[in-house]
Chains A and B, each alone.
Chain A
Amino acid sequence: MPENGRPAMPLHELHWLLDMVHNLDAGLVIIDREHRVHLWNRFMENHSGIPADRILGQPLRTFFPDLPEEWLEHKFRTVLDMNLTSFSIWRQRPYLFRFPPPRPFTSRAEFMYQNVTMLPLRSVDGKVDHAGIILYDVTESALARNQLETMNRELEKLSRIDRLTGLYNRGFWEECLHAEFRRFRRTRQPATLVMFDVDHFKRINDTWGHQAGDEVLRALAQLTRDSIRTTDIAGRYGGEEFGIILVDTEETRAVHLAERLRREVERLEIPHGETALRVTISLGISQVREQLDSHDQWLACADAALYQAKREGRNRYVVRPCLDCG
């Protein structure tokens, strides 16, 4: 009886076992301390194009100069010196051997994603001088996972965007306002909020229909997008009301943007069937201050300024320092 206490395997069973190993749907490789190859099964032959009789006894790097030698050596040491099984998964390292994707025509993969297990192999004399490498093709699951993540990102994006205008929706925009407020608390960097809405919007809807109203909102959203910097954050706050968070900007500079936007809206002709619609907007401007307790108060300040602009005759902006707010 051999040392491990198991009865010796009959020859025909050994033959089956070898057949299974050879035809296993995973790569099997055995290497020694010099990284010389001692087993190279059919999976490895097929995917690498290197037949076993050519690579056996040769160091891996002769055939795979791009192999991460240092990494492999490190893993190899763990396996041999500590007698531990070591793993590598595709998320950290997409592959060990660069093989073509298993389905060359219908797969989106550029290569075969691999999970790798490396285990210590004991010799007959009990010494551990060889490591076994098992290579799993996980291309399918890796692609599915990547696709799922892309889709989740898309969904997340969708849930941030207002469908009609393409600007951020109220929920996400308010989150940004909140974040900007917290940032101000930390850094004391200035930021100014501009709220605006369309004058007599109800009249447009009543006269020309809701579709005309939608076109006006879309055109204003486009104009807003074109007028702001990429760091500024514009959202549709509700019905015909919009908000812009101007990051790193003081009131005095925000006024320029507000006035420019007001003039451009005034000049804007929005085609609707045979006619062109014209609208004006009123704006309220408020810079964030230390006296404010919350982003809600900041928003209330800008809103108050906006209503003052309405009261004063519309198509204008009003700057209202937050100190004046209730």
Chain B
Amino acid sequence: MPTPVLICDDSSFARKQMARAIPASWDVEIGFASNGEEALEAIRAGRGDILFLDLNMPGLDGYQVLETIRREDLPTLVVVVSGDVQPEARERVRRLGALEFIRKPIDPERISELLDRFGIRLEADTTARRDLTGIESEVTDFDIYQEIANVAMGRAADLLARYLGVFVQLPVPEVRLITHDDLAGLLPDAHTEITAITQGFVSGPIVGEALLLFEEAHAQGLEDLLPELDCQAGEIRMDAANLLIGACLRGIADPLDAEFGLSHPVILPAGKPLTEQIRPFVRALAFRFVYRIEKHAMECELLLLFTEDSLPALSERVEALHA
């Protein structure tokens, strides 16, 4: 009888990628869940002997799913598959009973290794690909952007976590097409005091700008984290911005097979609302990330804006990932 395997991820693109990474020679019955509640439901119904679980999901997240499994002693083996690769994230899920931690983007080799370690014997031909036609719903460009954003965010958070020696909370990033009027909803309230550091990025037809926003009330914590460093407060923010913008863009560039050139960072003048400092545009693709360090009451927001002219090229690159 085939082993019931459950893949739980809020991104349809990620679910498909995970399913694809499972060796065709492994006799399994693959099921899908797009959120934590659905996953628990399926496990209780006996459709998830093995669970590949994403961590950052809206609603019930991966940590909460793990807690529930342990509390209710549900019959499943959990492998966490996550873009959040901070050391502490690995540690946390192990403590919550996960068997293994696989980083996104998934390397199929790792899956085979893992199965081997679990003592699951595969047929000789491990390279054959599983036929996935008809088992998954349509994946849109936006699903892919969303998943690219998730992975990129995790990568950036990992660097920040190592740099500061803390754990960084990662709310699910937002990806959407916006007009200039939508900006107000993406930016902190116009009356809050913020520091905005911005850098342009360009790779041929793909052009955009990364804005890192520190709310003054939430940025103090950053300086407290590095008291031994003998540098100006502004410099620490610039360093953090550098790291987050650089790592996040790298995370986005890699799957798109692009390499971004970055312009010098600029601190936008305070005292003028950001919405007025951003020139009028008709449409833009916006990625919005929030990085939060709860213990130190630190929070910052990273906004990546791609120009409308970049959209065809972006879409073309993403097309290659559908295949």
A residues sitting closer than 8 Å to B (CB atoms) are: 25, 42-43, 45-51, 100-108, 137, 140
Contact = CB atoms under 8 A, between A and B. Distances in A.
Most buried by B among A100, A106, A140: A106
List the 10 closest A-B pairs by CB distance, nearest first: A102-B263, A103-B200, A46-B261, A49-B204, A102-B200, A105-B209, A46-B202, A105-B278, A49-B205, A103-B209
Contacts of A107: 200, 279
A101 B200 contact: yes
B208 interface: yes
A104 B307 contact: yes
A104 B204 CA distance: 14
A43 to B, nearest CB: 6
A45 B259 CA distance: 10
A179 B260 CA distance: 58
A251 to B, nearest CB: 52
A77 B284 CA distance: 44
Contact of A140 (B202, B204, B264): B264
A104 B209 contact: yes
A108 B307 CA distance: 15
B249 interface: no
B260 A46 contact: yes
B305 interface: yes
B211 A104 contact: no
Given A106-B268, A106-B278, 15 more contacts: A42-B261, A45-B204, A46-B202, A46-B203, A47-B202, A49-B204, A51-B204, A103-B200, A103-B263, A103-B266, A104-B207, A105-B278, A105-B284, A106-B198, A106-B209
Interface of B: 198-200, 202-205, 207-209, 211, 259-261, 263-264, 266, 268, 277-279, 281, 284, 305, 307
A90 to B, nearest CB: 16
Contacts of A108: 279
Contact of A106 (B203, B204, B205, B277): B277
A104 B304 CA distance: 11
B16 to A, nearest CB: 31
B202 A137 contact: no
A104 B277 contact: no
B202 A102 contact: yes
A128 to B, nearest CB: 30
Contacts of B261: 25, 42-43, 46-47
Contacts of A103: 198-200, 209, 263, 266
Please classify the interface of chain B as helix (H, G, I), strand (E, B), loop, or mixed, using the class held by over half of its residues: strand
Contacts of B266: 103, 106, 140
A150 B208 CA distance: 28
Contacts of A50: 204
A47 to B, nearest CB: 6
B29 to A, nearest CB: 46
A100 B202 contact: yes
Most buried by B among A102, A103, A140: A103
Contacts of A47: 202, 261
A11 to B, nearest CB: 24
A166 B207 CA distance: 46
Contacts of B208: 104-105
Given A42-B259, A43-B261, A105 B203 contact: no
A66 B261 CA distance: 24
A106 B211 CA distance: 9
A137 B262 CA distance: 12
Nearest to A109: B279
Nearest to B202: A46
Contacts of B284: 105
A137 B307 CA distance: 20
Contacts of A45: 204
Most buried by A among B199, B207, B268, B305: B207
Given A49-B205, A140-B266, A104 B260 contact: no
Nearest to A51: B204
Contact of B279 (A46, A48, A100, A105): A105
Contacts of A51: 204
B252 to A, nearest CB: 15
A108 B277 CA distance: 9
A105 B204 contact: no
B266 to A, nearest CB: 7
Most buried by B among A51, A102, A137: A102
Contacts of B307: 104-105
A100 B207 CA distance: 9
Nearest to B204: A49
A137 B263 contact: yes
A185 to B, nearest CB: 49
Contacts of B199: 103
Most buried by B among A48, A51, A101: A101
A290 B92 CA distance: 97
B63 to A, nearest CB: 35
8 contacts: A42-B261, A46-B259, A46-B261, A102-B202, A103-B199, A105-B305, A105-B307, A107-B200
A45 B258 CA distance: 11
A248 to B, nearest CB: 45
Contacts of B203: 46
